[in-house]
Amino acid sequence: MLLRYSLDEDAAADKIEKAVDAALADGWRTPDLYKEGFKKADTQQMTDVIISKIQ
């Protein structure tokens, strides 16, 4: 939201949002969102997964 609304960086915001969506679609969840059947990740792991999905 900072990128989109404060810095007017829509393209960067889109890339991050798509990467987060891709990580969630692959089943990754932080402990606060985790349910049986998903891949549990701590904050650093989730960050690494999201970064790996930024194109």
Q: How confident is the model at residue 55 (pLDDT cuts 50, 70, 90)?
A: confident
Query: CA triplet 24, 27, 31: central angle to 5 degrees?
Result: 85
Q: Which residues pair with 40 in a beta bridge?
A: 29
Question: What pLDDT is stored for residue 51 in this prediction?
Answer: 98
Question: What pLDDT is stored for residue 53 in this prediction?
Answer: 97
Contact assessment for residue 30 and residue 43, using Cβ atoms and an 8 Å cutoff: yes
For the stretch 11-35, pLDDT in tens is: 999 999 999 999 999 999 999 999 9
pTM of the model: 0.89
Tokens coding 14: 């889109």
